Structures are given as C-alpha cells and as structure tokens.
Chain A
Amino acid sequence: AQTVTQSQPEMSVQEAETVTLSCTYDTSESDYYLFWYKQPPSRQMILVIRQEAYKQQNATENRFSVNFQKAAKSFSLKISDSQLGDAAMYFCAYRSDPVKIIFGKGTRLHILP
C-alpha cells in the first residue's frame, strides 16, 4: 500500500528566510503524481505545486520549488523568501490511482516576524 510520511510535525522560519519541508513516500508504481497542498488556519486547502513522476526536472512555482528524488522516494518542498502569509499546515500527497489522493499527516509551518 502506498504511504506518505512527513517527519516534521512543526517547523519555524524567520520571515524572508528559506525553509525546506521533508516528505517521503512508498510505492511500487512507476507512474504517479506528487503534490504539496497548503491549508491555512480555518481556510480551505489549496494546491501549491505538483510533480509528475516521469519528469526529471523539478517543479517550480514562484517562491516554491521541489526536490524530487525518485529513486530515494523523496519529495521536499523549498519555500524561498518566506512571508507571513505562508504560515499554514502543509500536506505532502501522492496519487497513482486515477482519483484517490493519499495525504501525509502534515507539517505546521510558523513564520517568525
């Protein structure tokens, strides 16, 4: 069965600094998608970034980038120039089934002014 593990329950970063959130997953599939979702307090979950497993190039979305290591089954999220609005719960997620997303337990990110 596929699993997603986020080993950092909480992290803190100084505003304007860079932070990396870790994620590992387990699967026997070769084709799949990986995601990072952001869930601000009392607000809905939004997609931050997506990575297709067949692509070697790491995905980038403005200040957000990933380090995708397929052989190691690792998928970390780097947030550059952290802003107060980045404070949220971040979920790493995996999908190979056409519809079902498997989420990790999340990492709560605090931004220190």
Chain B
Amino acid sequence: DTGVSQNPRHKITKRGQNVTFRCDPISEHNRLYWYRQTLGQGPEFLTYFQNEAQLEKSRLLSDRFSAERPKGSFSTLEIQRTEQGDSAMYLCASSKVAGGFPDTDTQYFGPGTRLTVL
C-alpha cells in the first residue's frame, strides 16, 4: 500500500456549483479525518470517522458540507453551493487505532485536493 490517496488533486469550480472529493485511506485504517488548510495557515480539523460512523464534526463544517464513509472504506466530502471562501486545500488523513489514552494512533496524510472557487 502506498499511502492515503485523494482525488482529484486540483478542482476549479464556479461559485454556486457543487463539488465532491474522494479519499482512499491506507487499507485496514479504521479512522479517517478531513482537514482544511488555507494559505498561510496550518490544517484545521473538519470531521472524522471511525469505520463508517461520523463521530465528530467541527463548527467549521457548515450545513453546505457533508461527508460520508460508506462501508468504512473510502470517504467523500461534498460541498454544495460553493463560495469563494471555500477555496482551500482539503486534506484527508487516516489512522489505525492502537489503544491507550490518549490514543496513540498516528495520522497519515494524503496529498490533498486543492479547491479554487471562481
């Protein structure tokens, strides 16, 4: 396995359009995370899944955003009615829970999808 993959790598869209991104985690990783990274900033947590269950969502995730992880494998992040403020790099990460407190799992990041909203 070569790591977390994300498609597409780049997406240009017009304001008001819907876009969908895909993330394929490392196989057997049961946790999957979405982050957003704007220019000059570090990544900000959006949401995460454990298997197919979405367990936490940031308040950054407005109702125009929806994420799914059917069957606990790949995940999709959809943004409806895109706005120029949605332009960012969307990063996906995955990890395998190793137990312990706090959890000792390491998050492995994908290359990201760069979204540009015109």
Contacts and interface: CB of A to CB of B under 8 A. Distances in A.
Contact of B91 (A45, A47, A50, A98): A45
Given A31-B101, A44-B109, A98-B103, A91 B42 contact: yes
A96 interface: yes
Interface residues of A, number: 25
A91 B101 CA distance: 23
B110 A44 contact: yes
A85 B88 CA distance: 26
Interface string B88-118: 0001000000000111101111111000000
Given A99-B31, A99-B48, A105-B42, A47 B106 contact: yes
A32 B55 CA distance: 20
A17 B108 CA distance: 29
A100 B112 contact: no
A103 B56 contact: no
B42 A106 contact: yes
Contacts of B21: none
Given A44-B110, A45-B91, A46-B109, A98 B43 contact: no
Interface in A70-113: 91, 93, 95-106
Contacts of A33: 102, 104
B40 interface: yes
Nearest to A4: B42
Interface string A17-50: 0000000000000011100010000011111001
A32 B103 CA distance: 9
A83 B104 CA distance: 30
A94 to B, nearest CB: 11
The 7 nearest A-B residue pairs measured at CB: A103-B42, A45-B109, A44-B111, A100-B45, A98-B103, A91-B42, A99-B48
Interface of A: 4, 31-33, 37, 43-47, 50, 91, 93, 95-106
